[in-house]
Structure 1
Amino acid sequence: MTHRLIMLTPAGAEEDCLFISKALTDVFGLHDQSTIANLSLGRNRTCLPFVIIDEESFVIRAPQSAFSELRIPAAEHMLHAKYQNGELILGPVAAVLTEAKSAGGDVHFGSIHEYCEELQSICTIRGCFFYVFSLHDYKNGSMSGYYYSDGKWLKADMPYPDVVHNRLHSRRSEKSAAFTELSADLNLHMVPYFNDRFLDKWETHQILYANDYLRPYLPRTELLSTKAGLQDFITAEDTTFIKPVHGSQGRRILRIIRSESGYLADHTTFSGEFIREHSTFKDLYSHLYPHLKQSSYLIQKGIDLLSYRGSAMDFRILCHQKSDYTWKVSSAVARVSGSNQFVSNIAQGGELFQPREILSQLYDRNKAYHLRKLLNELSIEVSEVVSAEAGGIFGEFGIDLALDCLGNPWIIEVNTKPSKSDPGLNPLKARPSAAGIIDFCLYLSRFFDYEE
């Protein structure tokens, strides 16, 4: 179906009809000015008489009433337009669902605030209307939210979206009645929403372990269920990690190192590592139990990983789904742990480097190239397997991989809501992941006959 990138602009204050450029009416075959133009955006519609104006660019000038009925701010918007079944359809409309906190007349979207600005900038280039909303902004099928204008996010009524990217940070929110109501309404109106839920670490491990190709890249991992099971595991391994099944950003991870004199236990906190020695497993368990009883944990064999300048290192590889249902690597960084930390998460003080930069210092040129290629291929395979087996729609994964001292790769973790709190390696440009998300939004919106 033919579509064109158009400029939607406000008409004069006294006007009560649409002004459509001749260039656009020629494309869509709209020549009878005696008819009424049906104009839609999302699920919102308006009907107005139209006048053809002699302009070579693709322009629609609309009165204030049209902007109000379409629930879009009365300002200039670059959008796509197509003509179908007597209706001039504008769009697409993409929205991000997340937490929004207001204070002093301003709103903040937490750790993805700057990222939302990047998404907005990509949408402006792509010709897509974009806004951010929270669960509180949806009521009985009606949407409000925040649009970006002159450097600020402003609250207003918003059109119903064509596609939603779920960036809620709380598992509790995803289990709330408000989220259930919203997702039911989106499903009812066949509006796709992607990365619709968190995947816990144990569920992800089981999906990957069932795959014959990926199984050799997984460290030995078990669900912590009994005291005896923990003792057997720790006794068999030199180093054991105990990770919360529902954890994120490297928090609440415990590391147990077995030695001749007993056990060394340390765990990540916001102020560094807490370290304690225990001579017996009984003493160790007494120390661990107050932490373990709070939530579910899994236990994982510690791998003798490659380090950089004496610090722990891994690789975060962001993968995005494309319009042909294949996956691509959008970006990759090496993460080196901060001082007194055994995890490399940026939230725990880690530092970012280019993988090429670090691997070229640790290996010869040919070996470094093949390792980068292997890490990318492994990340794509992980993304394909998890997206196929987990259910729902996923458009982005953050894959954490590491290399051991022999150069063998290991799958550490798969993130369905990868952190956006760091600005990336080039803070002056929108991250490739932002473009990947918006391109997937455009595809899911079904606005185009997807050749793009």
Structure 2
Amino acid sequence: MLFHIRINPDSTGMIFFHHDVIEQYSLLPSSSIRLKIGAWEKQAEIAAHSAEDPSLFFLSADIAADVGLPEHLPYELTLDQQEIQIGPVIGILIRGKITELKPNRLNIYLKYVVNYKQLRGLILLFTVDGIDDTQKKVNGFAFNPDSNRWEKGSYVFPSAVFCRRSATPKLRSCFTRLCGNRFFNSQVFNKWEMWERLSGYESMRAHLPDTSLAVHKNELKRFIDQHQIVFLKPKAGMQGSGIFRLEQQGSSYIFQYELNGQSLTSTAYSWEDAYSFLKMELNLEKYLVQQGIPLIKMGQRVIDFRVLVQKNRHGSWCVQGIVSRLGKKNSIVSNISSGGSAEKAWFTLLKIYGQDERTAIKKQNEMEHLAIEACETLEMTGLHLGNVGMDMALDQSGHCWIIEINNRDPDATIALDAGDQELYYRLKSAPLDYAKWLTGFG
């Protein structure tokens, strides 16, 4: 049953329900009960109202002022003998300052609420500078489903938060005080931190290319001698930029890299020359070196797979979809921004396995299970995640490798690149489905 709020200006510390609701939930008029709305909690006295509509409930003016619930929104209630919760109240934390949130930018976030009829309640968009932790409020924007717009105001702090930006330890402590552990994707990890978190687990280690920091000359040389082909990557890089492939052939070292959309090759004829080239081109303190994997290719195009993993409305990990990326011919990266293309992974797997559907589905299931296991393992290291993009690849024997994991803000537009609009909107709406589950209204 959906409820709508009204304000009773002549009372203090009270909540009023229709007598049918009081009877249905075995509530006792004139008794005190814990009332919870977002991060706000307080004892309130239960009373019956005389309005005919059983979907209405009334809050006394003081409570209404504390929480700022818009009256036009539909709310759900959870009721028992100890607590009444009104909601859900869900927040999306984004980058920037509240003064920077102009209509054009606000419209970008409408995609997250395309399934508002299933979410219901108060959906908030806010920035760090809008948080008032002492009053348990946020100055931000609430979604109005009637106008399909975000409306500025002061609202109760949400009981669950989807973080679209990283949070400092201080901010995470603030969230913990306000809403417990019901905030996710607040800690962003780079490629090296991913390696450190996963490589200690034997089940994961078999699917991770050997990785080391590139800052020490002797360690870099040892790593290249061991693997012959390596990739140097920025620890925090995105979209395939700044990646160098290095192959040792006898005493020579062959570099491949992308520059201004062109694939370039350079050769150094000694380790000292090779290292000098790297020092000149790269800030090695910000780089790692990764074992080169002999990946499956199609027509000289490197292939990898973006596995899109999210928690669903039941709080469980699921793979929403897999998109394959094919780099431009002879490129060392698969990124679409570097000239690559995308398609649904199923079509690519069928091509790889000669239209053998049984083998293709088996490999797709293997990638899905590995992706979920990796997410579960990451959470064992102390993270709370709900929205992850995982880059996988297959070597020439068909073994699955985890190349990179992005939990900062996995780009859902890759689904559009693959022509899958349904997947795109599913990726946008799922984080708030999970947030609703966290609030207790799932």
Report the TM-score when normalising by structure 2: 0.82
TM superposition shift of 1:42? 1.4
In the alignment, the residues of structure 1 paired with residue 40 and residue 232 of structure 2 have an alpha-carbon distance, to the nearest angstrom, of 50
2:105 aligned residue (102, 105, 108): 108
| 1:96–1:308 Cα change, 3 Å | farther
The equivalent residue for 2:2 is: 6
Question: Are 2:66 and 1:69 aligned?
Answer: yes
The equivalent residue for 1:188 is: 177
Query: Do the aligned residues in 1 keep the contact of 2:321 with 2:423 (CA within 8 Å)?
Result: no
Query: Do the aligned residues in 2 keep the contact of 1:424 with 1:431 (CA within 8 Å)?
Result: no
* 1:194-273 matched pairs, under 5 angstroms: 194-259=184-249, 262-268=252-258, 271-273=260-262
Query: Do the aligned residues in 2 keep the contact of 1:42 with 1:161 (CA within 8 Å)?
Result: yes
In the alignment, the residues of structure 2 paired with residue 94 and residue 118 of structure 1 have an alpha-carbon distance, to the nearest angstrom, of 15
Q: Deviations over 1:35-60 (max 9, x none)?
A: 8998652134796975233336x333
* 1:115-134 matched pairs, under 5 angstroms: 116-134=109-127
| 1:214–1:31 Cα change, 3 Å | closer
1:155 aligned residue (144, 152, 155): 152
In the alignment, the residues of structure 2 paired with residue 118 and residue 79 of structure 1 have an alpha-carbon distance, to the nearest angstrom, of 21
| 1:348–1:9 Cα change, 3 Å | farther
SS of the equivalent of 1:249 reads coil
Percent identical: 23
Query: Do the aligned residues in 2 keep the contact of 1:318 with 1:399 (CA within 8 Å)?
Result: yes
| 1:300–1:180 Cα change, 3 Å | closer
Query: Do the aligned residues in 2 keep the contact of 1:25 with 1:52 (CA within 8 Å)?
Result: no
In the alignment, the residues of structure 2 paired with residue 347 and residue 153 of structure 1 have an alpha-carbon distance, to the nearest angstrom, of 31
Query: Superposition RMSD on alpha carbons, in Å?
Result: 3.5
Name the stretch that deviates more: 286-295 or 244-253: 286-295
**Count of residue pairs brought into register by the alignment:** 425
| 1:370–1:105 Cα change, 3 Å | closer
Q: Deviations over 1:342-378 (max 9, x none)?
A: 3233454543311111111221222111111111111
In the alignment, the residues of structure 2 paired with residue 350 and residue 256 of structure 1 have an alpha-carbon distance, to the nearest angstrom, of 21
Query: Do the aligned residues in 1 keep the contact of 2:142 with 2:150 (CA within 8 Å)?
Result: yes
TM superposition shift of 1:401? 0.8
SS of the equivalent of 1:384 reads helix
Q: Deviations over 1:256-281 (max 9, x none)?
A: 23456943334456x42462413333
Which amino acid is 2:186 matched to? Answer: D
| 1:164–1:346 Cα change, 3 Å | farther
The equivalent residue for 1:372 is: 364
Name the stretch that deviates more: 313-322 or 422-431: 422-431
| 1:238–1:246 Cα change, 3 Å | same
Question: Are 2:293 and 1:296 aligned?
Answer: no
Which amino acid is 1:132 matched to? Answer: L
1:278 aligned residue (263, 267, 270): 267
In the alignment, the residues of structure 2 paired with residue 67 and residue 350 of structure 1 have an alpha-carbon distance, to the nearest angstrom, of 53
2:51 aligned residue (45, 50, 53): 53
Question: Are 2:141 and 1:146 aligned?
Answer: yes
Query: Do the aligned residues in 2 keep the contact of 1:220 with 1:301 (CA within 8 Å)?
Result: yes
Query: Do the aligned residues in 2 keep the contact of 1:10 with 1:64 (CA within 8 Å)?
Result: no
Unaligned 5+ segments in structure 1 are none
Question: Are 2:137 and 1:136 aligned?
Answer: no
1:401 aligned residue (385, 388, 392): 392
In the alignment, the residues of structure 2 paired with residue 429 and residue 217 of structure 1 have an alpha-carbon distance, to the nearest angstrom, of 26
Which amino acid is 1:282 matched to? Answer: E
* 1:20-31 matched pairs, under 5 angstroms: 20-29=17-26
Which amino acid is 1:51 matched to? Answer: H
SS of the equivalent of 2:110 reads helix
TM superposition shift of 1:203? 2.7
In the alignment, the residues of structure 1 paired with residue 207 and residue 84 of structure 2 have an alpha-carbon distance, to the nearest angstrom, of 52
| 1:78–1:374 Cα change, 3 Å | same
Unaligned 5+ segments in structure 2 are none
TM superposition shift of 1:139? 3.4
The equivalent residue for 2:77 is: 81
Q: Deviations over 1:297-323 (max 9, x none)?
A: 211122121224432211111223468
SS of the equivalent of 1:439 reads helix
Query: Do the aligned residues in 2 keep the contact of 1:314 with 1:402 (CA within 8 Å)?
Result: yes
| 1:145–1:88 Cα change, 3 Å | same
Query: Do the aligned residues in 1 keep the contact of 2:4 with 2:56 (CA within 8 Å)?
Result: yes
In the alignment, the residues of structure 2 paired with residue 339 and residue 410 of structure 1 have an alpha-carbon distance, to the nearest angstrom, of 22
The equivalent residue for 2:373 is: 381
